[in-house]
């Protein structure tokens, strides 16, 4: 597997003290596989000093010989919820990667965990046409750039079939835009919600 990460826009330097002291938030990135959630998650982690909680990494650690079953995915999601709770107890903001949040019930579970610590959940929907998502996944598969071995263009249709609309109030970003612009919009929006001066 190629370990080179997907490029993200350069950070303007180390996170400032303001980045660490903004209003505590948990960002949930919603969208099809291939929408660019991982690129945005890395930008938020790098530029706002948030902890990235990646379900794919958690699942890989839990199940090194993963069969990508529903049970393994749900177990990894419980790991995500536990990591979020620990981050909240430690007083750090998080961004969730590796989840499509195709079912709003999963977002509700995130809300339930983080609101008990007075964290603000920030749902961001990366609106990506299915044909573009398939094209991006095919490129990632050809370059062996993703940890999840069950990821292929066909997964887009599977997720799309169960995809529920994002919750009211979710920020929507057009994922057809260049990655640098999508990241800029997401970072600026989250920084504004968290009260971080940039």
In this structure, the number of other CB atoms found within 10 A of the CB of residue 74 comes to: 11
> pTM for this structure?
0.85
Q: Over the chain (198 residues), what is each successive 10-residue block's mean pLDDT? A: 43 41 91 96 97 94 88 95 97 96 96 95 97 92 68 88 94 97 97 89
pLDDT at 143: 78
- CB neighbour list of residue 120: distance below 8 Å, 6 or more residues apart: 23, 24, 25, 26, 114, 193, 194
Relative to beta strand 94-97, strand 51-54 is parallel
Q: Which CATH number fits domain 19-194: 3.30.930.10, 3.40.50.300, 1.20.120.80, 3.30.1360.200?
A: 3.40.50.300
Q: What residue segments make up the domains of the chain, in order of their start?
A: 19-194
pLDDT at 151: 73
């Amino acid at each position: 597997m190629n370990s080179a990460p997907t490029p993200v826009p350069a950070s303007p330097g180390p996170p400032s003290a303001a980045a660490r002291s903004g209003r505590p938030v948990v960002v949930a990135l919603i969208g099809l596989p291939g929408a660019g959630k991982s690129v945005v998650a890395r930008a938020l982690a790098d530029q706002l000093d948030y902890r990235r909680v990646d379900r794919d990494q958690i699942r890989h650690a839990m199940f090194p010989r993963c069969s990508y079953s529903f049970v393994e995915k749900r177990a990894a999601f419980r790991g995500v919820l536990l990591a979020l709770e620990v981050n909240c107890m430690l007083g750090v903001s998080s961004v969730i990667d590796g989840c499509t949040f195709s079912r709003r019930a999963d977002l509700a579970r995130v809300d339930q965990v983080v609101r008990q610590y007075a964290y603000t959940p920030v749902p961001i929907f990366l609106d990506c046409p299915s044909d573009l998502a398939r094209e991006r996944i095919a490129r990632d598969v050809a370059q062996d750039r993703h940890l999840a071995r069950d990821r292929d263009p066909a997964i887009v249709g599977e997720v799309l079939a169960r995809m529920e609309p994002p919750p009211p109030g979710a920020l929507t970003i057009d994922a057809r835009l260049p990655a640098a612009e999508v990241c800029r919009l997401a970072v600026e929006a989250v920084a504004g919600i968290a009260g971080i001066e940039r």
